[in-house]
């Protein structure tokens, strides 16, 4: 995290290289902590996000729980489009719209809350795009990541909790809560089992490439056990020792 750096860019209307901006590529000063919950369908992210928030509030933290897509006014419109079963979106359009939702989310919700000193818990973030649009849809995961890095100004979570469970179990849970009953409820949920298997493998791949930034948690366990594992991993990060153990 360096300070402001001088950036040279070529101005399209001039022949020479012109210095047009002094920008900081790193996030503005952050006082809070940023936690992301990731996983496939039916992994229990929303429940665990709320439980974690309750635990942290009891410990005296200011906590903001948020989610993607749809946490802002523009995001709500994007969410409707993204999940509309009748919307015809190319894979690249879909990736761009998730990135646009994320840009709004970070600028209007996440960064202000972090600057205020809050613990921000987001239900899905960059890894969802890499897993779903990259590994799932078949777009280049490196480009999908780059797009989100640009959209967020390189805001990376202090910890990503990956709730992992077999696809069949996740889909069964999602069905049990009525979301996959009968006709598919949204564009993404309408996808094939193979799509969700690629996503699960993609999330695990992301974990394997940088395990120190993740807590990989078995989401098939009892919800109380999952909550305890999440709490344990998060407490280590909040304590500032930076070492995150996979549970």
For ligand TYD, the binding residues (CB under 6 A) are 41, 46, 68-69, 83, 98, 124, 128-129, 132-133, 188
244 backbone φψ class: left, alpha, beta (φ>0; ψ -120 to 50): beta
* Residue of closest CB approach to ligand TYD: 132
**Helix H or strand E encompassing 164:** strand 159-164
- Shortest distance in whole angstroms from residue 22 CB to ligand TYD: 31
Nearer to ligand TYD, 100 or 238 (CB): 100
Nearer to ligand TYD, 5 or 172 (CB): 172
Nearer to ligand TYD, 41 or 164 (CB): 41
- Shortest distance in whole angstroms from residue 148 CB to ligand TYD: 8
Phi first, then psi, for residue 149 (nearest 5°) are: -60, -40
Report d(CA 76, CA 62) in Å as an integer.
Answer: 25
Nearer to ligand TYD, 66 or 128 (CB): 128
Report d(CA 147, CA 101) in Å as an integer.
Answer: 12
- Shortest distance in whole angstroms from residue 241 CB to ligand TYD: 29
| 237: Cα separation from own chain's centroid | 17
Residue 124 near residue 38 (C-beta atoms within 8 A): yes
- Shortest distance in whole angstroms from residue 129 CB to ligand TYD: 3
Helix axes 73-83, 91-105, angle to 10 degrees: 160
Local structure of 38: helix, strand or coil = strand
Nearer to ligand TYD, 100 or 221 (CB): 100
Nearer to ligand TYD, 128 or 159 (CB): 128
- Shortest distance in whole angstroms from residue 14 CB to ligand TYD: 38
Computed from CA positions of residues 132, 180, 174, 68, in that sequence, does the dihedral angle turn out positive or negative? positive
- Shortest distance in whole angstroms from residue 66 CB to ligand TYD: 11
């Amino acid at each position: 995290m360096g300070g402001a750096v001088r950036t040279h860019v070529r101005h399209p209307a001039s022949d020479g290289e012109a210095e047009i901006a002094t920008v900081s590529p790193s996030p503005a000063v952050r006082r809070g902590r940023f936690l992301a919950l990731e996983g496939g369908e039916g992994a229990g992210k929303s429940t665990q996000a709320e439980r974690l928030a309750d635990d942290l509030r009891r410990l005296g933290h200011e906590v903001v729980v948020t989610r993607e897509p749809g946490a802002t006014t523009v995001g709500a419109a994007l969410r409707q489009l993204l999940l509309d079963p009748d919307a015809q979106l190319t894979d690249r359009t879909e990736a761009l719209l998730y990135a646009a939702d994320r840009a709004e989310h970070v600028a209007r919700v996440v960064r202000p809350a972090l600057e205020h000193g809050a613990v921000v818990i987001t239900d899905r973030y960059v890894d969802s795009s890499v897993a779903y649009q990259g590994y799932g849809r078949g777009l280049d995961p490196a480009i999908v990541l780059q797009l989100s890095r640009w959209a967020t100004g390189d805001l990376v979570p202090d910890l990503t909790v990956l709730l992992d469970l077999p696809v069949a179990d996740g889909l069964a849970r999602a069905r049990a809560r009525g979301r996959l009953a009968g006709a598919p409820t949204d564009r993404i949920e309408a996808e094939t089992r193979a799509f969700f298997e690629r996503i699960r493998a993609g999330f695990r791949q992301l974990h394997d490439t940088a395990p120190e930034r993740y807590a990989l948690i078995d989401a098939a366990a009892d919800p109380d056990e999952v909550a305890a594992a999440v709490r344990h991993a998060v407490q280590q990060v909040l304590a500032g020792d930076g070492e995150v153990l996979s549970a």
